[in-house]
Amino acid sequence: MIILKRTDSDNPDFMALVKSLDAYLAVTDGDDHSFYSQYNKVDKIRHVVLAYENEKPVGCGAIKAFDDDAMEVKRMYVSPECRNKGIARKILSELESWAGEISFKKCVLETGKRQPDAIALYEKCGYRQIPNYGQYIGVENSVCFEKLLNRS
């Protein structure tokens, strides 16, 4: 059974998962890794979701304010041995719920073209591709997405 926990970036389980994520991205992004890593700092993130399976941390994701209407999804990761179990979808759904609860209207995110599984996840979860934003404008390997949140 997967248990989700809301926390922040000071959580040691989050820090350990981010270390694994960064090692994975260093390989996946290749020469582009140093460019991307400068935009993925994790200090002072107040909205982090962790996924636990049998009390072991197996996945994470975070959101941070992008502008007055949008939260940016950051640091999405599931341990390789736990993939294809719907964990990333659960984390993303929880992040979207949290963003809506604190009055944001949409989520935006950036991922890399070399991460087809991530792109497929976001598309399955209702994200639509948008023009690259901010620091990702003109970056060939980047793909940006957004999703309007259902708010009651």
d(CA 125, CA 116): 14
pLDDT tens-digit map of 16-65: 999 999 888 877 766 665 655 555 666 689 999 999 999 999 999 999 99
4: closest CA among 43, 40, 47?
A: 47
100: closest CA among 149, 49, 47, 46?
A: 149
What sign does the dihedral 25-27-28-31 (CA atoms) show?
positive
Mean pLDDT of the chain: 91
The residue count of the chain comes to 152
H or E stretch including 98? helix 87-101
* pLDDT at residue 151 tops 90: no
pLDDT tens-digit map of 55-91: 999 999 999 999 999 999 999 999 999 999 999 999 9
Q: What is the DSSP string of 40-91?
A: ---TT--EEEEEEETTEEEEEEEEEE-SSSEEEEEEEEE-GGG-SSSHHHHH
pLDDT of residue 26: 78
The residues, any chain, with a CB within 8 Å of residue 19's CB and separated by 6 or more, are none
Q: Where are the domains of the chain?
A: 2-148
pLDDT of residue 48: 97
pLDDT of residue 13: 98
Instruction: Give this prediction's pTM.
Output: 0.91
pLDDT tens-digit map of 125-146: 999 999 999 999 999 999 999 9
Stretch 95-123: mean pLDDT, rounded? 96
Tell me which amino acid residue 142 is.
S
pLDDT of residue 106: 97
% residues pLDDT > 90 (the chain): 80
Q: How is domain 2-148 classified at the CATH fold level?
A: Aminopeptidase (3.40.630)
Compute CA distances 115 → 59, 98, 134, 152, whole Å: 17, 25, 20, 33
